[in-house]
Structure 1
Amino acid sequence: MGMFATGRSPRNIVFGRGQRQSLPGYAGQLGQRALVVTDERMGAEADFVAMMDGLRTAGLSIEIFDATPPEVPLAAIEQCVAAGRAFGPDIVIGIGGGSCLDMAKATALLLAHDGSPRDYFGEFKVPGPVVPLIAVPTTAGTGSEATPVAVVADSDRVLKVGIASPFLIPHTAICDPELTLTCPAGLTAIAGADALTHAIEALTALARPIDGQTTHEHVFVGKNGLSDTYARQAISHLSDGLARAVASGEDMAARESVMLGALLAGMAFGVAGTAAAHAIQYPVGALTHTAHGSGVACLLPYVMHFNRSHATASMAQVAEAMGVVVARDDDDANAERAIVAVETLFGEIGIPRDLEALGLKHDQQEWCAEQSMGAARLVKNNPRPLDVAAMRTIIKAAHAGRRDLLDAEI
């Protein structure tokens, strides 16, 4: 099979210090009535107030919804949609962390197509374009400013659920690393670790057989030429800047590297998809009530070890991107160096080293293994085939903090 590449991304991507000031120009191209979706903390920030003043000065009418909670529960989406319908926007602007951007995506969807978020759970359920979206991230992690996914919390389900459609990709992404300067060290670490996990899982994902229908039948098509390029660059930027950004939040160069890495990681996994670390995190997060980024990052070294025999060359590329290559002609040794480098970086920034430290009880492992298999879009993306027994093995090793327990199963 020859090279295959595909990409889906915002129509406009603008990155750099001070680029939040470009918001009025991009918004004015799309409409004159903007529903701005954010949270209470961001709504009180001077930078946010200045952006709103810029929109008003440019002649836009704005309505601010600043009650986005973590996890994006359906009841909050309904409140935001109600505010939007009363105002009648022709553009939705999400400003904040991943939850704010996902709230903006879900709101833009329902303003265009009505119904409930439940009507759109899964892939390709969105019937057409949504209200035009602009995404302005203030953390560097989820990459939601460039992805086709909105993750929400349904009170009728134990696990969070995703809406996946290319129609959810924002029209414009404005990434200003100065907006991350107030992000505390702990959140910087968790968000950045999430982004690195996105990039590594995208780069090591299964390369699937491709035909003319693949991109029409799958939102996430597996690793390909474009996603690999984005993922390698993301890994390089994140491994270079993340520890420095956590240690010194005022290090502007580090903040730039991390935010660019998170954006590129979003562009990589937004078409390639993620895999086992994300599949297992959903039940682990539901039981431990811990941050998504902490969970996927805690699991990543164990998932990499499990997958190494089926993604050796890709993991060697991880080592190269992180600058830890041992020998150019020894992919297996380089793959191990990549895993160690990930463990070292995550240890340095305070990611829990095992699931027990994350709060998962010993008797919860079996339930997690069973529930992990429910994330079909992630399971099918893993480079090594997964079943309940495989999930059980990964979770056991990750709970004990012992990668060597995986060796008996490989």
Structure 2
Amino acid sequence: MEARNENSLGLGLLRQPATVIFGPGQRRELPTLARRLGTTALICTDRRMLSEQACLDLQAGLESAGMRVIAYGDVRPDLPRTDIQTAVDALAGEDIDVLIGLGGGSCMDFAKVMGILINSPADVREIFGENRVAGPGLPVITVPTTGGTGAESTCIAVVNDEDKGVKVGAASAFMEAVATVIDPELTLTAPSALTAATAVDALSHLIEAYTATAKNPSSQDMKDHLYVGKNVLTDVWAEKGLELIGRGIPALAENLGSLEARTDVMLAAYCAGLAINTAGTAGCHALQSPIGALTGTSHGYGVGALLPYVMRYNLPARIPEFARLGKLLGVQATGNEETDARAAVEKVETLVVTIGAPNDLNQLGMTERDVPAVAEAAAASTRLIANNPRPLPVPIMEEILLGGVRGDLNWWDS
């Protein structure tokens, strides 16, 4: 058994947008925020959102505030790298002052990347990795329309590099949004499948941040790296988010039109974004990337299906955290920490199924034949693997994946 890893420094570290406005109807504040930053706004969104009345109303509000608005509605799910290069070329020469990422994670990540590249055109691959952005770009305001990704509060953009068949992050403090406007009313039109995928994505972020490695970074580590591990402040936000999502997912599954449930899940997603912005994500996210490339399934469905299996492997190294996690999700404590930790894993499985997301890899279209290639590809996600509370060598990842394909929910001996 590995030695237990703890935050021995008592460190707390967060990064977040300078201005955060949250609550039903608060999108009305967007024009005032944007007008302070200039006179020309680029809205970055997808085709579904571009035609929504809420988007049209936001455009009208910006124009009423005296702004020229350019609406770019060609953002696609999973943010293909080639789409970014197409947009850089299409928007060359436009005099833009502020970008507004309106939509799900891909739309907000698109805005973050374009904020860097629009005035300094380059291949986005040049900023893949950590801290490879030379300096500040244009200001970005994020406006999420799903409750899940947490991209409104993170300083990373995840891009699908189709040539390599993997998703890659471009992460820099220079990519943090200057403001975010989080209005749960904007999620009311999200269809059930999108709602499920984004909700379990938020759940995975909260769990991975709360149970991640505590790295006890030096001053130099904090200067050189964004993801310096689980800490006192990430735990605060993760705990609040777990409490919210534990009641929000069942309520949302019962009534997709419940603004109260939408508000709980959206606030949980924001909490998760704050937590992963320093703690980072871990094993589920490392494994999901090649699974998504292989099966064409959504990121949220992938991490949700992986949670029961990765959590079972990680449990021996995080029994107190899992027991506490279960309590936050509404599990009745027994007084036996390991029993409570196992009940937490089972509660997570129930939440995934309750919202209508897959709970094994077979449902995603993955087979046993795919296991070796997926594990080998996941091994390239060294940053994510380093965040996992237990080591993830390729043979262990193969075991986890086989369990996920077979739906094997047995507990690991150690």
**TM-score over 0.5 for the pair:** yes
Structure 2 matches for 1:300-379, cutoff 5 A?
Answer: 300-327=307-334, 329-379=335-385
Change (3 A) 1:184 1:387: same
Shift of 1:214: 2.0
* TM-score (norm. length: structure 1): 0.97
> Which whole-Å deviations, capped at 9, do the CAs of 1:280-338 have from their partners, x for residues lacking one?
101111111101000101101111110111111111121121120423x4321111111
Which amino acid in the other structure matches residue 378 of structure 2?
S
Which whole-Å CA distance do the structure 1 matches of 2:113 and 2:149 have between them? 16
- Report what 1:252 is aligned to: 259
TM-score between the two structures when normalised by the length of structure 2: 0.96
What residue identity is the alignment partner of 1:307? N
CA distance in 1, matches of 2:143, 2:90: 20
Q: What is the match of residue 119 of structure 1?
A: 126
Q: Match of 1:44, as an amino acid?
A: S
Contact residue 49 and residue 103 of structure 2 kept, 8 A: yes
Amino acid at match of 1:4: L
CA distance in 1, matches of 2:379, 2:216: 22
Secondary structure at 2:412 match in 1? helix
Partner of residue 244, structure 2: 237
1:64 and 1:199 map into 2 onto residues whose CA distance is 33
Q: Does 1:130 align with 2:137?
A: yes
Distance in 2, matches of 1:351 and 1:54, equals 36
Q: Distance in 2 between matches of 1:330 and 1:274?
A: 28
RMSD: 1.2
| Matched positions, count | 407
Which segment is superposed worse, 82-91 or 285-294? 82-91
Percent pairwise identity: 40
Q: Which residue of 2 aligns with 1:400?
A: 406
Matched, 1:384 2:386: no
User: SS where residue 30 of structure 2 aligns?
Assistant: helix
**What amino acid maps onto 1:398 in structure 2?**
G
**Structure 2, gaps ≥5 residues long:** 1-7
1:174 aligns with 2:181: yes
Equivalent residue number for residue 63 of structure 1? 70
Offset from partner CA, 1:47-83 (integer Å, 9 cap, x none): 1111111101111111111111122112221232234
* Cα distance in structure 1, aligned partners of 2:119 and 2:134: 10
Query: Equivalents in 2 of 1:217, 1:317: separation in Å?
Result: 32
Deviation at 1:407, TM superposition (A): 2.2
* 1:220 aligns to 2:241 (yes or no): no
Any conservation in 2 of the 1:206–1:223 contact (CA below 8 Å)?
A: yes
SS at match of 1:20: helix
Deviation digits for residues 196-217 of structure 1 (CA, Å, limit 9, x no counterpart): 0000000000111321112222
Mapped to 1, the partners of 2:339 and 2:172 lie a distance apart of 38
CA deviation after TM superposition for structure 1 residue 112, in Å: 4.0
- Aligned residue for 2:87? 80
Give the letter aligned to residue 393 of structure 1: E
Equivalent residue for 2:216, pick from 209, 226, 230: 209
- Tell me the equivalent position of 1:261: 268
* 1:175 aligned partner, one-letter code: I
Letter of the 2:367 counterpart: K
The CA distance in 1 between the partners of 2:399 and 2:82, in whole Å, is 37
CA offset digits 1:182-233 (Å, max 9, x no partner): 0011111110000000000000001113211122222111100111111111
Secondary structure at the aligned position of 1:403 is classed as coil
Structure 1: distance between partners of 2:120 and 2:282: 30
Give, in whole Å, the separation in 1 of the partners of 2:182 and 2:168.
26
The one-letter code of the counterpart of 2:43 is: V
Structure 1: where are the runs of 5+ without partners? none
Partner of 2:170: 163
Equivalence for 2:97: 90
Select between 203-212 and 240-249 the one with higher mean Cα deviation.
240-249
- Alpha-carbon deviations, 1:102-140, whole Å to 9, x = none? 111111110243311000111111111121000001011
DSSP-derived class of the 2:158 partner: strand
Superposition deviation, residue 97 in structure 1? 1.1
DSSP 3-state at the match of 1:241: helix
Match of 1:200 among 195, 201, 207: 207
> Does the Cα contact within 8 Å between 1:316 and 1:325 map onto a contact in 2?
no
CA contact (8 A) 1:146 1:266 kept: yes
Q: Give the residue type in structure 1 aligned to 2:355.
A: I
Does residue 150 in structure 1 map to residue 161 in structure 2? no
Distance in structure 2 (CA, Å) of the matches to 1:171 and 1:138: 18
- Conserved? CA contact 2:212–2:281, under 8 Å: yes
What is the CA–CA distance in structure 2 between the aligned matches of 1:281 and 1:251, rounded to whole Å?
30
